[in-house]
A and B are shown apart, each in its own frame.
Chain A
Amino acid sequence: MILFAGIFIMLLFALSFVLFFFFSQRKFQGEQVKAQRRELDYQQQLLFTSITTQEQERERIARDLHDEIGSKLNVVNLHLHRLRKSQDLSPLGDILGVLNQTIHRTRQISHELLSPTLQNFGLVPALEELCEQYREASSLEVAFSASDLKKSPDLDTALALFRIAQECLSNGTKYSQAQHLVLTLQESPQMLALSYRDDGQGFDPKQAKQGLGLQNMESRSRLIGADLQIQSAPGQGVHITVQKPLV
């Protein structure tokens, strides 16, 4: 009788083990498929965002060229025609003024597209300059601090971090209603970390995930193999960190 019970219990154990394995495995596989599908959807969304952003950027450049450069060159053209007809040199001052404005604006557009400081001097001076620009353009306190970088990051990484910082500061000045914006760049032997913090109204990151700006940040982080973390809640400011492993 005891032997029968032993055999029965062993069989029961074996059967339960296999059934448990089978159902857990199926459930696990189902979860994996769902996660893969979610990841694929997300990738598609990021791609869509990237294309949309590219188109918007082209539109902005076209508008800038048309409205700012084209219109000013038209003014110069008109002045030059008048000059040729009347032989009166008095509009020359105006022409030079408009040409100076055009040169200045062209430089601005070019800087907006790619910061020369970033290219020539690296990430830290470029971020310093960026903060300075936002400080001048708004009434907010924009602080920047950085640790000494042992080795400056490659241009792709630097550009991605620069763009993320630009997006953070742009959102911070436009929407946050903050008084202080703080940008920091820290390097440890394992990690290069960019951090942005403000004391503004904050937002719900789950709802804001649909926005182009945040998706762009996510997209750029992934491109350089960095991890983007957004911590915020209504009324509690925003804290964004981008951490790129160095090893």
Chain B
Amino acid sequence: MVREFIQYCTFSAQVTLGIGFLLWLVRYRSLPGTLQRMGPFLILSILTQFVSVYLSRQKIPNLFLLHYYTVLEWVCWAFFYAYLLHPARFFRTYWPLLTAIVTALLIANSIWLEPLDGFNSNAKTLVQLLLLGASISYFFQSFGRIDLSRPVPFALILINFAVLIYYSGSLFIFMFSKILNQYQVDFGQQRLFWAINGLLYVLFVLLILISIWKAAYRKTTS
């Protein structure tokens, strides 16, 4: 039953991501600059989803994908937040440097510390914490400065809400994934965690889809 639930979640996430990507592609010109920068993440997510499903159907271990995905996921979100958090002086000055250092650390981690055939708990935890930090920074930065009745600020808040909910919910799952595996915790129990992760991921991509929709079909005055 849990296994089926995970499959439903995976399928729902793929469909939601697909719609989100199509919407992004079709309405690219009418999207504000910040949401145009969601494209790389959407493409990466769709590709990773399809490749992982394909590999698992072929009975090929797909855990190495998580390593690639973590690095690219970080780069995509860093690209997005570089634009979103640009007004803050700290981010304007240090974000590109932080992006480069973290990317190097993630790659080094996969080469020397956590091999490609296992979970990359260290790297994933670091990325999740950084993204949570960026999201919380955006909330603080925008407080009192945005009008939530307007579609674009609302869409951006929704994306940050998605980041906050998904990455905080799945933080402990990825943080302990390696340990659970090492201590050979019952697969059924482990699957339960991945079901929670799957559910949160569906919510995450759904919120991203809604925000793209909101911004793409907003009324513009020209």
Q: Which residues of A contact B173 (CB under 8 A)?
A: 3, 7
* Mask of A49-83 contacts with B, CB within 8 angstroms, 1/0: 00000000000000000000000000000000000
Contact: B168 with A25, CB < 8 Å? no
Among the listed stretches A14-22, A108-116, A137-145, A211-219, which one makes contact with chain B, having 4 or more residues with CB under 8 Å of it? Answer: A14-22
| Nearest CB of chain B from residue A151's CB, rounded to whole Å | 36
A22 to B157, CA, bound (A): 9
**A21 shortest CB reach to chain B, Å:** 5
How many residues of B are in contact with the other chain, CB < 8 A?
Answer: 22
Contact A17 B139 (CB under 8 A): yes
**CB–CB A21/B168 < 8 A:** no
- Which residues of chain A from 138 to 169 have a CB within 8 Å of any chain B CB? none
Query: Given A17-B164, A21-B143, do A3 and B148 touch, yes or no (CB 8 Å)?
Result: no
The smallest beta-carbon distance between B43 and chain A, in angstroms, is 26
Beyond A25-B148, A28-B144, A29-B148, is A11–B193 a contact (Cβ under 8 Å)? no
User: Please, which residues of chain B bring their CB within 8 A of the CB of A15?
Assistant: 165
Which chain B residues border A11 with CB–CB below 8 Å? 165, 168-169
Cβ of B2 to closest chain A Cβ, rounded Å:
14
> CB-nearest residue of chain A relative to B158?
A18
CB distance from B120 to the nearest CB of A (A): 18
Shortest beta-carbon distance from B152 to chain A in Å: 15
Give bound CA distance, A158 to B89, whole Å: 41
B161 with A18: CB separation less than 8 A:
yes
- The A-contacting residues of B in range 172-220, CB under 8 angstroms, are 172-173, 176, 180, 193, 196
B136 at the A/B interface (Cβ < 8 Å)? yes
Contact present for A7 and B196 (CB under 8 Å): yes
A10 touches B139 (CB 8 A): no
Q: Check: A38 CB closer than 8 A to any chain B CB.
A: no
Contacts of B66 on A, CB cut-off 8 Å? Answer: none
Q: Which residues of A contact B104 (CB under 8 A)?
A: none
Q: Tell me what chain B mostly uses at the interface: helix, strand, loop, or mixed.
A: helix
Question: A189 at interface (Cβ–Cβ under 8 A)?
Answer: no
CA–CA, A18 and B143, complex, Å: 11
In the complex the two chains form, is A18's CB within 8 Å of B164's CB? Answer: yes
A26 within 8 A of B: yes
Contact status of A18 and B148, CB under 8 A, knowing A25-B143, A28-B143 = no
Cβ–Cβ contact B165 & A6, under 8 A: no
Residues on the A chain within 8 Å of B170, using CB: 7
Residue of B nearest to A7 (CB): B172
Chain A residues near B180: list those with CB within 8 A: 3
Closest A residue by C-beta to B132: A14
**CB of A29 to closest CB in B, whole Å:** 7
The answer to whether the Cβ of B117 comes within 8 Å of any Cβ in the partner chain is: no
Question: Is residue B171 contacting chain A, with contact meaning CB distance below 8 A?
Answer: yes
Residue of B146, B165, B193 touching A25 (CB-CB under 8 A): B146
Q: Shortest beta-carbon distance, B144 to chain A, in Å? A: 5
Q: Is the CB of B143 within 8 A of A10?
A: no
> Is A7 in contact with B165, judged by CB distance below 8 angstroms?
no
Q: Return the 4 tightest CB-CB contacts between A and B, nearest first.
A: A14-B168, A6-B172, A10-B168, A14-B164
Q: What are 30 contact pairs spanning A and B, CB under 8 A?
A: A3-B172, A3-B173, A3-B176, A3-B180, A7-B172, A7-B193, A10-B168, A10-B172, A11-B165, A11-B168, A13-B168, A14-B164, A14-B165, A14-B168, A14-B169, A15-B165, A17-B136, A17-B164, A21-B139, A21-B143, A22-B148, A22-B157, A24-B143, A25-B143, A25-B144, A25-B146, A25-B148, A26-B148, A28-B143, A29-B149
Q: A7-B169, A17-B164 are in contact. List 20 more A-B contacts (CB 8 A).
A: A3-B176, A3-B180, A6-B172, A7-B172, A11-B169, A13-B168, A14-B164, A14-B165, A14-B168, A17-B136, A18-B161, A21-B143, A21-B157, A22-B157, A25-B144, A25-B146, A28-B143, A28-B144, A29-B148, A29-B149
